[in-house]
Structure 1
Amino acid sequence: MKIVDVCALYSPQGGGIRTYVEQKLAIGPRLGHEIVIIAPGDRDEVIEHGPGARIVTLRAPHFPLDRKYWYFEDEQALHAALDAEAPDFVEVTSPWRSATMVAEWRGAAPRSLVMHADPLSAYPYRWLGDIFSRPTIDWQFSLFWSHLRRLGQSVDLVVCANRDLTRRLAEGGIANSATIPMGVEAGRFAPERRDARLRAQLLAECSLPESATLLIGVGRLAPEKRWPVVIDAVTIASREQPIGLVMLGEGREKRAMLKRIAGNPHIRLFAPKRSRDEFARILASCDALVHGCEAETFCMAAAEARACGLRVIVPDAGGAADHAASGGWTYAAGDPVAAAACIREAIERPWRPAARVRTMDEHFAELFARYEALARPFRRVA
């Protein structure tokens, strides 16, 4: 089956979605499928990723708030690219303009909307949640809900990576929503990657001895990631016991985060590690992951931490919360005092690592099986 992913959120300098796309390009052909990613970029270009896998970029403007990304502007060019590919199945991975463009494409292939973003949790729920209830916020943003319902009617399947988002979409009138959790890269993340010497070095970077607890936080330095909650929680928790925090991230909020850390010697901010092996070794060498964002659609960082045998300390909403269900701790989203109490409890409690964590191979096998079932009637007609 030929699967075309119209991925407006892809960037070679991106984070979780870039990793997801790279995994799809590697795993899809192994499962017998041809994978084509259509993404906006600086130029019209075809980038081969081995047999049966390639990225097609269409010339597009940069996204003004983050110039590492672009956005689809030319609907005719996108439709022409879809016509040229003649896919058996089309994915679209942003609920914004590109989804409408795919809905308006006249091709016969079935299609899905993959919710790689949860805009309501990332923005209005975060901005207004201390003032209004979620039903009130949903009413205030009824135009967006109407847009989502139209998108749901234009596709054959809406894919969510966490149960909370699936439930909310179904309650909002998007009946064809399904939960298909993602996973971790097989063989990459494991407790055996733990390196006692590296752990000691990281604690020394945090001006702490090996007897201290080493936490890690991973993600873009963006407002929706709620880094101030993480920083404040660790600062509060470390008043009672020695705790260090290693942060791996980059983004437009870097200056604000350094100001928030304010010279705290026990919290260090480092650039992300581009080497996946190096990142896995760092992750496995820590004691727990602490995360602040309740708008995650899956929270790959928490999944990879669990696969490395770490405790996860996450908000009680969004995709991150699913990872605590099989061994972890949740706190009231957005509350650093609650997060600090959760950190202390997680450190003090006995810990049994997760028996196993779902892999990306399992995710794509389930996802593509759903696509094949949806595409079968179209093939008979053809």
Structure 2
Amino acid sequence: MKIVDVCAFYSPRGGGVKTYVGQKLAIAERLEQDITILAPGDDDALVEFGPRARIQTIASPRFPLDRKYWYFNDERALHAALDRLAPDFVEASSPWRSPLMVANWRPEVPKALVMHADPLSAYAYRWLEPLVSRETIDRRFARYWHHLRQLGRLYDAVVCASEDLALRMKAGGVGNVVTVQMGVEAQRFSASKRSEKMRASLLAQCDLDPDATLLVAAGRLAPEKRLPMLVEAVTMAGLHRQLGLAIFGEGREDANILRSIGGNPHIRLFRPERDRERFAAILASADAFLHGCEAETFCMVAAEASASGIPVIVPDRGGAADFARGGMGLSYRAADHVDLVRAILALPDGLPARSGRRAARAMDDHFAALFAIYQRLGSSGLSAAA
């Protein structure tokens, strides 16, 4: 099957979507699918990753709020690229304007919308929920819900990576919703990658001895990730036990995060670790993974941490919440730094949870399930919900 993924969120310097795209390109080859990632970029370009896998960019403007990203603004150019690629199936991966552009291209070609973002949680709920109820916010954002319901009618499938998001979409009247849980690189992330030497080195860089507890956070440094809240909670919890926090990431919030760290020598902000093997060793060598964002559609890094055999401390809402279930971690009330302190201090000494159990399927299984849905929709002409 010839698949085109119109991926508005792709950036060579991106976070979870970049990781997802890289795995998709590699696994599609193994599953004998032909796939093109069609993304906005500085210019028109083509990068081949194999005989059946490639990234093609369309010259587009930079996104003003985060200049690591671009956005599609030329529907004719997007349609012309799709005409040249002539896919059997089209995937769109943004809930904003570009899926309407994609839907306008050859309605007879089957299409799926993959929810790689949850704008209501990332923006509306985060900004307004301290003041009014979620039900009130949803009423105020009725126009956006109307947009999502329109996409549910235009697309043969609306793919969510977690039950939390899928249930909210269905409750909001969005049609054709299916859940295809994402996964991890099965051979890369494992408790066997643990290194006491790496753990001691990270704690030393946090000005702590090896008998302290090492927490790790990682990802894009954006407001919805709530890194300053993590810093505040670890600082408060650190008054009661020796804690080090190593944060790996980059983004527009770096200056704000550094200000929140202030003079605390036990919290360090590192550049993102792009060597995937070394990053797997960092996760396995930590004592727990810490996450602040309740707006995740899945939370790849929490899945990777869980697969690495360490407990996760995550909000009780959003995709990340899945990885605290079944004894694999601890949850706290989303956006509540005091309850986060409680969860951090609830970590047991000795951390016996290093079982290596996986909270997520292997990524190969995720793409096999996703492509099977696409194959069925392409051959049957039915919606995913049929």
Do both proteins adopt the same fold according to a TM-score greater than 0.5, normalized to the shorter chain?
yes
1:346 positional shift: 2.2
Report the equivalent of 1:368: 371
Report the equivalent of 1:88: 88
What one-letter code is carried by the residue in structure 1 that aligns with 2:140?
Q
1:186 positional shift: 2.3
1:67 positional shift: 1.3
Report the equivalent of 2:111: 111
User: How far apart, in 1, do the equivalents of 2:51 and 2:112 lie?
Assistant: 24
Does the 8 Å contact 1:61/1:72 carry over to 2?
Answer: yes
What one-letter code is carried by the residue in structure 2 that aligns with 1:342?
A
Report the equivalent of 1:173: 173
1:359 to 359, 362, 374: 362
User: How far apart, in 1, do the equivalents of 2:57 and 2:100 lie?
Assistant: 19
Residues 123-147 of structure 1: per-residue CA shift (max 9 Å, x gap): 0100111111111000011110001
Residues 69-99 of structure 1: per-residue CA shift (max 9 Å, x gap): 1111110111111111111110000011111
User: How far apart, in 2, do the equivalents of 1:353 and 1:141 lie?
Assistant: 43
Report the equivalent of 1:294: 294
User: How far apart, in 2, do the equivalents of 1:55 and 1:325 lie?
Assistant: 36
Report the equivalent of 2:56: 56
Q: Which moved more, 1:348-357 or 1:364-373?
A: 348-357
Report the equivalent of 2:325: 325
Does the 8 Å contact 1:165/1:318 carry over to 2?
Answer: yes
User: How far apart, in 2, do the equivalents of 1:112 and 1:225 lie?
Assistant: 27
The alignment status of 1:307 with 2:310, answered yes or no, reads: no
Residues 139-165 of structure 1: per-residue CA shift (max 9 Å, x gap): 011110001111110000000111111
1:236 positional shift: 1.4
Alignment of 1:230-309 (within 5 A): 230-309=230-309
User: How far apart, in 2, do the equivalents of 1:127 and 1:166 lie?
Assistant: 22
Report the equivalent of 1:338: 339
The alignment status of 1:6 with 2:6, answered yes or no, reads: yes
Residues 274-305 of structure 1: per-residue CA shift (max 9 Å, x gap): 11111111111111001000001111111000
Cα 1:350–1:194 change in 2 (3 A) is closer
Does the residue aligned with 2:47 lie in a helix, a strand or coil?
A: strand
Cα 1:101–1:168 change in 2 (3 A) is same
1:350 positional shift: 4.3
1:180 positional shift: 0.8
User: How far apart, in 2, do the equivalents of 1:325 and 1:366 lie?
Assistant: 23
Alignment of 1:156-195 (within 5 A): 156-195=156-195
Residues 329-372 of structure 1: per-residue CA shift (max 9 Å, x gap): 11000011101111111234742535234111010011111111
Does the residue aligned with 1:325 lie in a helix, a strand or coil?
A: helix
Does the residue aligned with 1:117 lie in a helix, a strand or coil?
A: coil
Does the residue aligned with 2:62 lie in a helix, a strand or coil?
A: coil
1:377 positional shift: 2.5
Does the 8 Å contact 1:311/1:353 carry over to 2?
Answer: no
Aligned-pair identity (%): 58
1:378 positional shift: 4.9
Number of residue pairs the alignment of both structures matches: 379
Residues 146-189 of structure 1: per-residue CA shift (max 9 Å, x gap): 01111110000000111111000001001311111111112111
User: How far apart, in 1, do the equivalents of 2:64 and 2:364 lie?
Assistant: 35
Please, which runs of 5 or more residues in structure 1 have no aligned partner? none
What one-letter code is carried by the residue in structure 2 that aligns with 1:230?
L
Does the 8 Å contact 1:222/1:253 carry over to 2?
Answer: yes
User: How far apart, in 2, do the equivalents of 1:378 and 1:176 lie?
Assistant: 13
What one-letter code is carried by the residue in structure 1 that aligns with 2:177?
S
The alignment status of 1:377 with 2:380, answered yes or no, reads: yes
User: How far apart, in 2, do the equivalents of 1:350 and 1:131 lie?
Assistant: 40
Does the 8 Å contact 1:160/1:178 carry over to 2?
Answer: yes
User: How far apart, in 2, do the equivalents of 1:366 and 1:279 lie?
Assistant: 27
Does the 8 Å contact 1:313/1:346 carry over to 2?
Answer: no
Does the residue aligned with 1:347 lie in a helix, a strand or coil?
A: coil
What one-letter code is carried by the residue in structure 1 that aligns with 2:343?
C
- RMSD of aligned Cα (Å): 1.3
User: How far apart, in 2, do the equivalents of 1:352 and 1:211 lie?
Assistant: 17
Does the 8 Å contact 1:245/1:268 carry over to 2?
Answer: yes
